[in-house]
Amino acid sequence: MEIMDNLLNAYLTSTCDDEPPLLKAINRETYLKETQPHMLSGHFQGRFLSLISHLLAPKRILEIGTFTGYASLCLAEGLVSDGILHTIDINEELAERVQGYFDASPYGAKIRYHIGEALQIIPTLEETFDLVFIDADKKNNLNYFELVLDKVRTGGLIMIDNVLWKGKITDASPDKQTEQIIELNKTIAQDKRVQKLILPIRDGIFLIRKL
């Protein structure tokens, strides 16, 4: 089941800001070259990420799950002049192309691109983050959340992608991966350390504010 049909997606896209040329090129190349291009945030969600970043005007951003760098560049748009975005991905094969995208953008000098296991890299980042975007391997979402919460400032935001899982979170007999998403959502919903709600944007984004 798709949360949004194609007509509604097209309408939403038509009512938000234009997709910048570099992001449009990344979008196109991702669909041409990658076997799972749906992992890319895309135009509408990308403009949402950019808007959230502009509202926060963050000095430090952490992204877990770079893929082809589309969301990274959207988030970087709101960084203050001396801001830094750390982004982590395990896929070495994409590194050269993604770094090329970053270098071609106005934000290349502000992006620190880490290749490796996020669970190992996150503890080495001696930063306090204003904004965290989690969009990596879903089985570790709860581990990532717990690992980054202490690194987020009071009032800072954590966003977790794909928490509606194409609507499968309402299945009567969910598969194992869906069960992991359900458990994540239930755990965060009960967490008194944060203010939270799920936004039905694309595949669902958990918007979480640290108290």
Q: Write out the chain's pLDDT in tens, 211 residues.
A: 566 778 888 999 999 999 999 999 999 999 999 999 999 999 999 999 999 999 999 999 999 999 999 999 999 999 999 999 999 999 999 999 999 999 999 999 999 999 999 999 999 999 999 999 999 999 999 999 999 999 999 999 999 999 999 999 999 999 999 999 999 999 999 999 999 999 999 999 999 999 9
The CATH code that applies to domain 6-210 is 3.40.50.150
> Can you give the pTM of this predicted structure?
0.96
Domain ranges in the chain? Answer: 6-210
Say if residues 63 and 23 touch (Cβ distance below 8 Å). no
d(CA 31, CA 17): 21
85: three-class secondary structure by DSSP:
strand
Closest CA to 144 of 119, 120, 116: 119
Structure tokens of 2?
Answer: 């798709």
First-to-last CA distance in the chain?
Answer: 34
Say if residues 153 and 210 touch (Cβ distance below 8 Å). yes
